[in-house]
Chains A and B, each alone.
Chain A
């Protein structure tokens, strides 16, 4: 995948074992799609249901932030949601090309600050690492990582029902 080069939140030196990216318009109705797509992608890992549910909440928060804060509810902008499997962790990235913000803006908070703050608290609780990169006028990229025990090797057959 071409890295747009504009926002690079802590690029991983390690090569991903598997990756996917989807683009969706900045509409709340697409939240369900984003959650399900990421959860389905990670079904190749041996995650328990609660982990998948927590990942879904984290995705929901990140995409909601892009819709609300990245694009100020404009419904016709693109959000890129990607997911990757690494040897010891999984990674989810959500990127918008919206307003972006500086560190000062972030500290200032403002309208909806409470829910926004809650959203980030949930992302941090459910994932092991959350990296946020943003700059005014350049959009925002959130990268979330979660450690997984013994991630699958590439080409490993899917367990199925056995």
Chain B
């Protein structure tokens, strides 16, 4: 698995690649938590367009980050899952609590209304 991270204001964009399973879950969790902690991330955008497979171990990582961010009023946006990945997200209920966006830009705009720019801190 290859992970690319990009800081976008109060949001962190994470581009995942390959098969997200038990083999990579621990490393992915650690990398995301480190980046989110360092940057004080409020929202997480997960670009899944290059993910070829995700199973419950991968879902667990996403759900854990969602819960962590939710404590501070943050959210997780999902971008570009392929058909089977999307099916897994639907069946697991993740798409009931996280929104899917067509692009990273839409996700960033949707998660940070106010256009980033320091934000208005209207936490809930």
Contact = CB atoms under 8 A, between A and B. Distances in A.
Interface of A: 28-29, 31-32, 35, 50, 53-54, 56-57, 60-61, 64, 67-68, 114-116, 118-119, 121-122, 125
B59 A29 contact: no
Given A28-B21, A28-B23, A64 B60 contact: no
Given A31-B23, A122-B91, A115 B60 contact: yes
Nearest to B18: A32
Contacts, number: 60
Contacts of A114: 60, 63
A121 B59 CA distance: 13
Contacts of B53: 35, 53, 56-57, 60
Contacts of A31: 21-23
Interface in B39-60: 53-57, 59-60
Interface of B is mostly: helix
Interface residues of B, number: 18
Interface in B86-101: 87-88, 91-92
B5 to A, nearest CB: 23
29 contacts: A28-B21, A29-B23, A31-B21, A31-B23, A32-B19, A32-B23, A35-B19, A35-B53, A50-B83, A50-B87, A53-B83, A54-B84, A54-B87, A56-B53, A57-B55, A57-B84, A60-B53, A60-B55, A64-B21, A64-B22, A64-B55, A68-B22, A115-B60, A116-B56, A118-B56, A118-B92, A119-B56, A121-B91, A122-B56
A154 to B, nearest CB: 30
Contacts of A119: 55-56
Interface string B84-123: 1001100110000000000000000000000000000000
Interface of B: 19, 21-23, 53-57, 59-60, 63, 83-84, 87-88, 91-92
A54 B88 CA distance: 9
Given A29-B23, A64-B56, A64-B57, 18 more contacts: A31-B21, A31-B23, A32-B21, A32-B23, A50-B83, A50-B84, A53-B83, A56-B53, A57-B55, A60-B21, A60-B22, A60-B53, A67-B22, A115-B57, A118-B60, A122-B55, A122-B88, A122-B92
Nearest to A58: B55
Contacts of B21: 28, 31-32, 60, 64
A60 B52 CA distance: 13
B9 to A, nearest CB: 31
Can you list the 10 inter-chain pairs with the closest CB atoms, starting with the nearest? Answer: A53-B84, A28-B23, A119-B56, A60-B55, A118-B56, A115-B60, A28-B22, A64-B22, A115-B56, A125-B91
